[in-house]
Each structure stands twice: as C-alpha cells, then as structure tokens.
Amino acid sequence: MTTPTIGIIGLGAMGLGIAQVFAAAGHPVRATDANPDSRATARDRLSASLQPRIDKGAMTEADRAALLSRLIVTDRVEDIAPADMVVEAIVERLPAKQSVFSLLEDHLSSQAVLATNTSSLSVAAIARGLAHPERLLGLHFFNPAPVMRLVELIPHAATTAQALTTARSLTEAAGKTVIQCADRPGFIVNRCARPYYGEALALLEEGRSAPEIDAAMTAAGYRLGPFALIDLIGADINLAATESLSTAMGHHPRYHVFAALKAQVEKGALGRKTGTGFTLPATDTPPPPDAAAIALRIEATLANEGAWLLSEGGTTAEGIDTALKLGLNFPRGPFEIARTQGPATILDTLAKLEAAAPAHLKTRYLPAPGLAP
C-alpha cells in the first residue's frame, strides 16, 4: 500500500514543524510557501532543527538524511497536487486562507482532505465559498509541533465522516493525541486556558502580587504559574488571544480583558522576549499563607469554563481534560479538578466570588449547568 502524501502550505516555524512530524512518520511531504526565502531555506532550517537530536544520540545522520529526503519543497501551490491531505499553516487572515483552499480545490483529487491549522478563525468561515466544503476541517497543532503531542480536530457542520477519519488516522499514526472539538471560538485549549490567566489578573487587580500568585499555583502542582506562562508566551500574544476570544464571545465577563495585561503590552514588558514582564526579573517568592485558597479560586474558574464548554456539545469531559494537560502541561484538567475538589466546593467558591465581584465582572462566576453536585 502506498504511503499517503502530505501537503504543507506555509513554511514558517509551525508549517515546517508539521512537515517534520509527517516526514518523521515516513510520509512523503510536499510543501510550499509564498515567500521564496522560506522555500529556499526550508530544508536547511529543518536540518538545523534536528541537530540537537543528533548531538544527544537520539537520531543518526542517516536518520536525518532519510527524513530530509521525504521533504520536497515546491514553488507553486499547484505542485502539492499528489497530496492525500494538505495542512495549511499560513498567516491568520481569513481571506488568505480561503484563497489558498480555493486554489487547492482545482488541483487535488476529490478524496484529498483539506486541513487548516488555524488557532483562532472559524473553520466554517474558512470553508465558505469552496466548491467542496465538506472535505475541509481544522487540524490545530501546538508549537513546537514535533514536541507537543496534542492536536485539536475541528469539523464544521458540513465536514464528512470520511474526512475526519482520514485526518485522525494520519495524525494519530504520526504520534499525536487527537481530540475532537466543536468549531467554536478558542476550540478547547485557547478557550479553557483563559481563566488561568484571567483569574490571576483578577487577583492582581485586587492587590495580590504576580510572584505570590504564581508561587501558589506551582505549590499546587502547576509547572508554571499564570504570570510566568504569560511571560513565556509573550504578553502581546496573550493579549491578542484574550481580545479575540472576548470579542468572539460577546465580551462576556468570563473573558474580560484586564487593564494590567494591556499595560504590560503598552510599556513593552512582554516577558522573556524583552527581558521584563510580570515575573521578570525573577524573584524567589515562597507560597503565601493562603496559597491553597488562591489555587482553589483559579481552579474553580477552570472547572467552570470546562463545564460551560462541555454543555455546548461537540467534545467530551475526558477530551477537555486531556487537551488541557497536553496543551498546557497542566497537572489536571477541569473535570479532574471538579472531582478532586468536589462539586459543592467549586460551586461554593464560585458563589462567593460572584457575590463579591465588582461591576465589570458581574456574571463572571455564574456556574455552568453541569456543575451541580
């Protein structure tokens, strides 16, 4: 049986990482990019990214040569034609993505699957205008794609079962954990992660310090506290994601854009890439006496957001838990939190937060239907 060919549109860090994933799994990969420099340097960049594995003895020179031999960089989108599945990883602009898929439709076989790696756009909107929208779906990899195990699989209303099965089987065979979710703003991870940052910012607004909030969460088993995670991602990136989701969700207080996050961006304290941020320069801060209460508050909002997402359909509690653990390295997912803390404790925590909430956060803590004990 012929090994399916994978097409990649976009050879930036994400597209090249996805190309590596499938080439490492033995697939012929045909890839292109609108930028000639990106095409010209793709193989050298991929080779360089594999050097640390060779240095550690995890890969031989022969292995690298074999992987690189499976990557064919083409000058035109049309040259992707032999692909059985094409993954698009270009700029997050709807017209650009629609244009690429419209062009691809004219050249691919009728059975080829079209996948967008979008992290923020509606899959249905990307499919709009295609002659065969039923073969398009979302396949959201996380950065860096060769390392992160999670991939979110997102159908829109017209996506066929065959397209979903093909995308899932090819991606799982390449070593990824695939979690299906609905075509809603933020999918699973980017949506359910918002309370981790947002409730920490609410605590900051109340006068707590970023280092003590982070210390409370690391004491509760989280690898990085919310502010260290913002500094790692970049405050500008976090702000853009928060504003996008807030707009998409009708500016509900659960997705409130806090002034402190805007201020960090305005003053250029973006985190690791600028050397200053919420937790930079670093200080050694012990957990505060009420660390458990801080952790419970943040975890209660995480549990609530997971329950709200589940109530909307399109995914499972297990899928949400797995996505948060793999996508953000959380020690437990929202439903594991609810079971550990107990639904009554979560509901009581939310009720107290709602009663004390300032005007701009009223209704933020109303419990999801599925949280009843």
Q: Which of 257, 242, 225, 221 is nearest to 333 (CA)?
A: 221
Dihedral sign, Cα of residue 83, residue 86, residue 89, residue 94: positive
- Alpha carbon distance 156, 327 (integer Å): 22
Catalytic residue list contains 212:
no
Q: How far is CA 369 from CA 13, 265, 317, 325, 347, in A?
A: 40, 36, 14, 23, 11
Backbone angles phi, psi at 156, to 5 degrees: -105, 180
The residue whose two tokens read 């000058």 is 75
Note the Cα 1 to chain centre separation in Å.
Answer: 33
- Alpha carbon distance 258, 59 (integer Å): 45
Which residues contact residue 55 at a Cβ distance below 8 angstroms, ignoring those fewer than 6 apart? none
Helix intervals (H) in the chain: 13-24, 36-55, 61-69, 94-105, 123-127, 161-173, 189-192, 194-205, 210-219, 226-233, 235-248, 259-266, 291-311, 317-328, 334-341, 343-356
Choose, from 88, 134, 152, 305, the residue flagged as catalytic: 152
Choose, from 117, 190, 244, 246, the residue flagged as catalytic: 190
Choose, from 119, 244, 246, 304, the residue flagged as catalytic: 119
- Alpha carbon distance 330, 336 (integer Å): 11
- Alpha carbon distance 139, 153 (integer Å): 5
DSSP calls for 63-95: HHHHHHHTEEE-SSGGGGTT-SEEEE---S-HH
Q: DSSP state, 370?
A: G
Catalytic residue list contains 143:
no
Catalytic residue list contains 140:
yes
Choose, from 27, 140, 156, 256, the residue flagged as catalytic: 140
Catalytic residue list contains 190:
yes
- Is-contact 282 232, C-beta < 8 A? no
Q: Which are the catalytic amino acids?
A: 119, 140, 152, 190
